[in-house]
Structure 1
Amino acid sequence: MFTGIVQGIASVHRITDKEGLRSFTLDFPNGFCEGLEIGASVACDGVCLTVTELRGDTQADFDVMQQSLKLTTLGQLREGGHLNVERAAKEGAEIGGHPLSGHVDFMATLVEVRQPANNHVMRMAVPAPWMRYIFAKGYVAVNGASLTVAEAHRDSDGSGWFEVWLIPETLRMTTFADKSVGSLLHIEIERQTQVLVDTIRDAVFEKVGALLPALKAFAQDKGLPLDL
C-alpha cells in the first residue's frame, strides 16, 4: 500500500530489454534507498514495481512485464526520463493523501494547463466509463500523487474531464511541472468511491433492470442522457 505522498523524483539511469520484459535502473534522491531491500515495493509514477537488485546507495533495478509496458507510459520511458516515486507505506504510517494500491486503472490525457498566480491547474480528459468514479472534492491519484479533484464534468457517453490545482510545493516534489498538453498520466481511482458507485449501480439494475430498455428508449426520444 502507498499513501499518495510523492517522496521524490527518480531518473532513469539505464534501460535493458530482455525477453518478455524490460528492466529499469533508477537513480533515486539521497536517502531514498536507506533500508530498501530486494523484493520491496516502490510506486513509480503510481505503478507498483518490485526491487530486483540494489546498486549502491542511490540505485535500484526493476523489471516490468510487456503487459504493464503496454497499459502504462513506462513503455515510453527513455534514459534520462523522470518519475514520481514513493516507497511502500509501513504499518502505522500517517496517510497524508489516501490509500493507493499502485495499480493503474487507466490513462488520462492532459488537455489544458493554466497558471494563475502561485497555482498550476491541470485539466485531464477521462475515457468512458471511468468518469463515473470521479467527483469534485473527491480524491484521485495522478502518477502516484494523491490529489483533490477541484472540478469535474461528465458527458452523456460516460467520458468527461476533471481538474486539479497544484501548489508550488507539489510542483517542486513531482514531475507535473514538466507535463504539457497531450501528455498521458496514470490514474488510480479511489477504491471506496468505486465500491460505493458499483454497489449502487448493481442495486439499481437489480430493481429496475427489466425496465431499462423502456427507460433508455424514453430518454433517447426526449434527448436525455441515461448512462447507467
Structure 2
Amino acid sequence: MFTGIIQGMAKVREVVSEPGLSTFVIEFPEEQVQGVTIGASVAINGTCLTVTRQQGNHLYFDAMQETLRLTTLGTLQPGDDINFERAARIGDEIGGHLLSGHIHTTATIVEILRPENNVTLWFELPDAWARYIFPKGYIAINGASLTIGEVAGTRFNVHLIPETLRATTFGNAVAGQSVNIEIDSQTQTIVDTLARLGYDRPAAL
C-alpha cells in the first residue's frame, strides 16, 4: 500500500531487456535505501515493483510484459529520472490517499501552463477512464497523489506548487509525455456501483 506522497527522485542506470521481461537498475539517494530488503515493494512512477537485488544504493526490479504494456515503464531509458515511494507501514501518516500501485491506464500531457509561482498540466486519457474523473477528486499521476482541477471531456488538469515541481519529475514535464494513472479506488467503486443500478455517468463529451 502507498500514500501517493513521493519520497524523492531516483535515476535509471541500466535496463536489461529479455523476452517478456525487463530488469531495471535504479540508483536511489543513499538515505532512501536504509532498511530495504529483498522482496520489498517500491512504487516506481506509481507502479508497484519488487526489489529483487541490492548493490549499495542501486536496487534491481523486474517488470513483466503485461506491466510494460500497461504502464510507461517500457519507455524508460538509462539516465531517466523516476518518482519513487517505498511501501507505507502501519502507523505512517497518510498525507495523500491510499494507492495500490496498480496502474489502470496512461494519459498524455497535452498542455503546460506556467502562471506565476505554479504550473498547470493538462492531460488526456482514454475515454473508458474519463467516467472516473471529477473536479476536486483524487488521482495518482506517476505515483503522486494529486487533486483534479478542471475536467473537460477526456481532459483534466492539475495545479502544481513549486515544492511538487522540485520534489518530483513533474518539474521536467514536457507536452506529449505519457504518464501512469491510478484511479482513486473509492471513486471507481461508487461510479461502478451506480452504473450497475442504472445511474451510469454519460460518456465524455
Q: Please, what TM-score do these two structures have when normalized by structure 1?
A: 0.86
Q: Which residue of 2 aligns with 1:216?
A: none
Equivalent residue runs for 1:22-37 within 5 Å: 22-37=22-37
Answer yes or no: is the 8 Å Cα contact 2:70–2:104 preserved in 1.
no
Q: Give percent identity, aligned residues only.
A: 50
Q: Which residue of 2 aligns with 1:220?
A: none
Aligned-residue offset at 1:30? 2.4
Output the CA distance in 1 between the equivalents of 2:53 and 2:18: 15
Where 1:95 maps in the other structure, the secondary structure is coil
Across the aligned residues of Structure 1 and Structure 2, the Cα RMSD in angstroms comes to: 1.6
Which is higher, the Rg of structure 1 or of structure 2?
1
Q: Which residue of 1 aligns with 2:160?
A: 166
1:184 matched to 2:160? The reply is: no
Output the CA distance in 2 between the equivalents of 1:6 and 1:46: 9
Q: Select between 8-17 and 36-45 the one with higher mean Cα deviation.
A: 8-17
Where 1:136 maps in the other structure, the secondary structure is coil
Equivalent residue runs for 1:5-24 within 5 Å: 5-24=5-24
Q: Please, what TM-score do these two structures have when normalized by structure 2?
A: 0.96
Q: Which residue of 2 aligns with 1:59?
A: 58
Where 2:10 maps in the other structure, the secondary structure is strand
Q: Which residue of 1 aligns with 2:203?
A: 227
Aligned-residue offset at 1:193? 0.5
Q: Select between 41-50 and 126-135 the one with higher mean Cα deviation.
A: 126-135
Q: Say if 1:112 and 1:20 are closer, same or farther in 2 by CA, change over 3 A.
A: same
Where 1:84 maps in the other structure, the secondary structure is strand
Equivalent residue runs for 1:1-228 within 5 Å: 1-56=1-56, 58-154=57-153, 160-204=154-198, 226-227=202-203
Structure 1: segments with no counterpart, 5+ residues = 155-159, 209-224
How many pairs were matched up?
A: 204
2:25 alignment partner AA: T
Once the two structures are superposed, what CA deviation does each residue of 1:114-167 show, in whole Å capped at 9, x if it has no partner?
00000010000121121111110110000000000111122xxxxx11100000
